Amino acid sequence: MAIPDHISVRGAYVNNLKHLNVDIPLNKLVAITG
């Protein structure tokens, strides 16, 4: 089994986000704004 290199979020649904799919890389600086 391979070690994943990202965090996956599938079908997120909160406030005005509807069915959001996103892959967030590990070991990188990531900024999420909104």
CA 5 → CA 12, 13, 25, 28, distances in Å? 20, 24, 6, 10
> Taking a C-beta distance cutoff of 8 angstroms, is the pair 6, 26 a contact?
yes
pTM exceeding the 0.85 threshold for the entire prediction: no
> Above 90 in pLDDT, residue 23?
yes
> Above 80 in pLDDT, residue 3?
yes
Please, which pLDDT band fits residue 17 given cuts at 50, 70 and 90? confident
pLDDT at residue 11, rounded to an integer: 93
| Cα gap 9→13, rounded to integer Å | 10
Q: How far is CA 10 from the centre of its chain?
A: 8
Q: How many distinct structural domains can be found in the chain? A: 1
Please, which pLDDT band fits residue 32 given cuts at 50, 70 and 90? confident
Range of the domain at 30: 1-34
